[in-house]
Amino acid sequence: MSEIQDKTRERMEKCISVLQSNFAKVRTGRANPHVLDEIKVDYYGQETPITQLAAVKVPEASMLVVEPWDKSSLHAIEKAISTSDLGITPSNDGQVIRLPFPKPTEERRRELAKECRGIAEEARVSVRNVRRDANAKVERDEENSEDDVNREQGGIQKLTDEYIKKIDELLKAKESEVMEI
């Protein structure tokens, strides 16, 4: 495999890891600590991620518990979660914050599945952009004969097909998770 194909594979792997990260942020009926990754708390004037201020635990499938290391940050964390677009109402008992994840309705599950398809399509576009860049690089290399260019582009196309298939498999798994009651 050529150096161009190696770099292409690396870039396509990054597309897959971004896809997995984006899928982890989609809120299903299951509690997932990654839904809090993007939420920042105003902690002594600093925008700080919740994961740096508290332990996030999953005691049961539909509940997250946020246990701050510094109890004085409890209200700031609760406020940050309330003002986020999570759509979950936190309950604070003075020690920990509980986040109940209600089971989504049928309509909401369909919306989430549609959102997942959109995220997967973005990943497919990214993979195709990587293919386009790699093909352009192969064509610009003047040392390559026409046969070399065709061979390289064939290898790049195989990589593209492989990664598009991975994206489709990840989407299928995520859709079944979202549609699960």
pLDDT in tens, 11-28: 999 999 999 988 887 777
Dist. CA 86–CA 2, nearest whole Å: 45
Dist. CA 7–CA 17, nearest whole Å: 15
Dist. CA 73–CA 127, nearest whole Å: 42
- Domain 33-100 has what CATH class? alpha beta
Tokens for 13? 């792997």
Question: Does residue 51 surpass a pLDDT of 70?
Answer: yes
- CB of 9 closer than 8 Å to CB of 160: no
The domain defined by 3-25+105-179 folds into: Topoisomerase I; Chain A, domain 4 (1.10.132)
Q: Does residue 103 or residue 134 have the better pLDDT?
A: 134
pLDDT tens digits along 71-101:
888 888 888 888 887 778 888 888 889 988 7
Average pLDDT, the chain: 88
pLDDT given for residue 181 in this prediction: 64
- CB of 151 closer than 8 Å to CB of 1: no
Q: Are 3-25+105-179 and 33-100 equal in CATH topology?
A: no
Domain ranges of the chain: 3-25+105-179, 33-100
Name beta bridge partners: 82. Answer: none
Q: What is the pTM of this model?
A: 0.72
Dist. CA 29–CA 61, nearest whole Å: 8
Dist. CA 70–CA 150, nearest whole Å: 61
CA count, 13 A, side-chain hemisphere, 15: 28
